[in-house]
Amino acid sequence: MIFAQDPVKVLEVKGNKVKIQAARLSACSTCTVPGHIEKPDFFEIWIDSQTDAKPGDLLKVGMSPGKLYLSMSMIFFLPILFFIGGYVGFQYLWKVFSQLQSPVLFNAFGAVIGLFIALGLLRFFNNYAVQAKGFLPEAIKKVRVRKDYFDLDKIETEY
């Protein structure tokens, strides 16, 4: 199980599902430029929970490595493969139907078509993943923060 670095806050509980609030931090949040502070963007999502969480609790969330790596490989490699495949495929089509060397613009058009096909497949996969709910993280364990600390780096495991 791969864990998220920061804990998330529980907003609601319904059975074995919890609604969590997590921060989507950008690279600007780690910037050291003086006077430049970016507030995190929060999002909410319902996930499965293996804990007895209550609203206000902090949870550690995780995801199975296989599903995480499959998702990441589809997001990064599928568009590249279809882009290259479209370029090579259109080059091959030109050679089949014409004896002349294929123009680069024709091949680039094939690459763009391949990219759009890959993005359509990713959209389909995203819809499938949301409906199947197999690619969502799970709440794994409850954590607590020492009363004198509000820094999330000082978290201790409760269970």
Contact call for residues 108 and 131 (beta carbons, < 8 A): no
What letter represents residue 65's amino acid? P
pLDDT band at 33; cut points 50, 70, 90: low
- Averaged pLDDT of the chain: 77
Average pLDDT over residues 35-47: 69
pLDDT reading at 16 higher than 70: yes
Q: Where are the alpha helices (DSSP H) in 19-145?
A: 65-97, 104-132
Output the pLDDT for position 116.
94
Show the tokens assigned to 26: 């950008």
Integer-rounded Cα Rg, in Å, for the chain is 23
pLDDT in tens, 96-122: 888 777 788 888 999 999 999 999 999
Task: Note the pLDDT tens digit of each residue in 63-88.
Answer: 778 887 888 888 899 999 999 999 99
- Which domains, from first to last, does the chain contain? 2-63+137-157 (2.30.30), 66-132 (no CATH)
DSSP letter, residue 55:
T
User: pTM here?
Assistant: 0.58
Phi, psi angles (nearest 5°) of residue 139: -80, 125
- Predicted pLDDT of residue 95: 82
Calpha distance 23→40 (Å, rounded): 6
pLDDT digits (tens, 9 = 90+) for 42-60: 778 888 887 888 888 888 8
